[in-house]
Chains A and B, each alone.
Chain A
Amino acid sequence: MSILGKLAEKSWLTPSAAGDGVDMNTGPEPAAKTALALFIAVLTSIFFLFAVGYRMRMHQPDWEAISDPGLLWINSVALVLASVCMHFARKSALSGDIRGVRYALTLAGALSIAFLVGQFAAWGILRESGLYAVQSPATAFFMLLTGIHALHLFGGLVVWARAAARAWQGIEVKRIRLSVELCTTYWHFLLLVWYVFFTLLLLT
């Protein structure tokens, strides 16, 4: 039933049979997925508001654009590849192929770590070019946006590390499938966020 249909139910009309109109799907899997979807909504709100803050602050007269380090392009490619690997890990998990899960998952994590190292290096480049000064709002925002994004990816890596360790311990595929699916969703989301932020940084 559509959500509007559900909200239109005349619940005072007592149905004859027990439990008519049950509309939930219980179980640990969907609960975790629902919670992740909600969490992503929360994060979307956070990232969106940072982006809005950036756009509004830009209009102040003291704003001077900075040139973004070219390294960001390489980092972006790494993050795309990490997401692709996650995708394969999920596919393998769904088809019950534990070896596929192990390799794809490990590779995805390694690429994500490479991305984080690259982001850190980009900060170094900014610092060397003398643009590090916190007084420059563009630099401050650059650090803020990349930093917040990196922090969330780092949080994801903590969950990833657990999942990867369990995958290598020779656990049954179906017991790790949920973790892999959740990681994949989270990685795709962070990739999307990165692309929005990156575009924003490039355009300004």
Chain B
Amino acid sequence: MAYVAIADRDHEHELHDPHTFITKYVWSQDHKVIAIQYSLTAIFVGVIALLLSGMMRLQLAFPDSFSFIAPQDYYQFVTIHGMIMVIYLLTALFLGGFGNYLIPLMCGSRDMVFPFMNMLSYWVYLLSVIILLTSFFVPGGPTGAGWTLYPPQAVMQGTPGSSWGIILMLVSLGVFIVAFTMGGLNYVTTVLQARCKGMTLMRMPLSVWGIFIATILGLLAFPALLVSAIMMTLDATIGTSFFMPAVLEAGMQNDHEGGSPILFQHLFWFFGHPEVYIVALPAFGLVSDILACHARKNIFGYRQMVWAIVAIGGLSFIVWAHHMYVSGMDPYFGFFFATTTLIIAVPTAIKVYNWVLTLYEGDIHLRVPMLFCIGFIFTFIHGGLTGLFLGNVVVDLPLSDTYFVVGHFHMVMGVSPVLVVFAAIYHWYPKITGKMYNETMGKWHFWFTFLGAYSIYLPMHYLGILGVPRRYFSYGPTEFIPESAQAMNVGITYSALFVAAAQILFFVNMFMSLRGKKSDPNPWGATTLEWRTPQHPPKHGNWGPSLPTVYRWAYDYSVPGAAKDFISQDEPAAPGAEGFDPEHPNG
């Protein structure tokens, strides 16, 4: 029997076209609707996490002035803020949101290969979010163990939420991982099996590459979190001692003996480091495509960019212990991990050079998405450089657990990916909604966010060098922390509140523009397939009666001799549209 690709069963698709409101927008199996559901949910929890961080900043700037922020509240805010931002916002938004929307459209498929499982993935994700938020309403509140959930303190009395909160947290993570796995199997299989004719691996836009490799990282790394969550749940409920050592708790020996907290740290960071690249790689991919498009130039070193993504993905599994230098380890062990950590900076640096070289002599249009991408290059270089400091054991020891680390990871994994999220939303908003937003408002949003974020995180590096420790409720009179540090904290808080308020511009813009002016089907003159759908915005099944055929890579911008300054991937080679060979620019 000859196989008929799922993607080619046109007539069946007609039959299954959803007709009621419920099948169209609620229990939808359309990847675009699922993508929007994922994104809106992620952004919703992201806003909660943002509010939590505002509360933390209030406490840090004005200690003891707010009756509604007790020490245990502060720890709960820190924990839930971090957890939401890393997992429930960024991971879900990049993979469940952008991955879902872009993979089928950019690869020229009708949908994900398993649409039902894709739908299930979103609803299970929503369940994990609900479980997480429920923990605010249980006795003792959510866990206050820090997003790293280190035992033994995570499950000991005295840590906020050590009875209910931590269990709900672990269960919620387990449920999230199930959701992610269902989605992830879909994304990878779709990329491998459902590309349209002519779409070779190396003709895929870098966005797809970034999301694809990040998903593989997630599939292999989330198990480590799952394993540690299962073992910690057992420790906390039935009293096993996988991670829990014997500890004196209020003068009494607890029921545990011999468990290894270090074992937890290894498992956690075996997940935790790849996780930072699960967030970074999709951002790398999206930035590459948006930069090339708005600079009207092919991406510099396409193959290197792909290889670097793959190399970073592989290396990210052998650097995890750089988070554990202060936990004590064999010096050779530390040497090994410092070396791998520095090696991973090489492919990362290659990517940065290539972005900059893509801009070089480009026909740069400083539109809103482009501004955000350029902002990303700044913050990412900044965070990458401080990462190099921390990767060296001797430099890390005094800096670990200070605000230097907070500055580092917010630059590299907070601000940078969020700038890319904004860039991507501004770039694809016309595609998703068919409407154009207000560009002036978008530009104000960029400058407020970019400069504001810098003024939050840059000073933190100085605090860290002074030795100000992270995760403290208040410092009181501490000898090595000068008065001026407190002044700086006040400044940081003002910036933070300002940046948070500036996001209102974004929401207002996005919301009002839904009824705004119609956009062009391809307003930026982009080459990739998602701009070539017969309807705008694309309908169920994406491509109308027949799938596109791809004839070229995704970066034929400003091809000499061509009629337009871009050639879409599905335009056949014709005289004057042969494409541009960057190795022989003069023909």
Contact = CB atoms under 8 A, between A and B. Distances in A.
A26 B240 contact: no
A61 to B, nearest CB: 7
Contacts of B573: 14-16
A18 B1 contact: no
B200 A21 contact: yes
A20 B579 contact: no
A73 interface: no
A158 interface: no
A169 to B, nearest CB: 21
B242 A140 contact: yes
Contacts of A15: 551, 573
A57 B128 CA distance: 30
B227 interface: yes
Nearest to A37: B189
A11 B553 contact: yes
Contact of B202 (A6, A63, A135): A6
Contacts of A8: 303
Contacts, number: 175
Nearest to A21: B200
Contacts of B270: 49
Interface residues of B, number: 71
A18 B186 CA distance: 28
B192 interface: yes
Nearest to A26: B5
A41 B266 CA distance: 20
Interface stretch (A28-36, A121-129, A194-202): A28-36
Interface string B214-235: 0000011101101100110010
Given A12-B302, A12-B582, A135-B241, A6 B5 contact: no
B581 A26 contact: no
Interface size classification for chain A: 35 or more
A104 to B, nearest CB: 23
B240 A140 contact: yes
A7 B7 contact: no
B5 A35 contact: no
A38 B5 contact: no
B185 A11 contact: no
B193 interface: yes
A61 B267 CA distance: 20
Nearest to B241: A137
A118 to B, nearest CB: 23
Interface of B: 1, 3-8, 113-114, 181, 184-186, 188-189, 192-195, 197-203, 219-221, 223-224, 226-227, 230-231, 234, 238-242, 255, 257-260, 263, 266-267, 270, 298, 302-303, 306-307, 310, 549-553, 555-556, 572-573, 578-583
Q: Which 10 A-B pairs have the closest CB atoms?
A: A62-B258, A27-B3, A26-B5, A14-B579, A19-B198, A45-B223, A11-B553, A9-B202, A11-B202, A46-B223
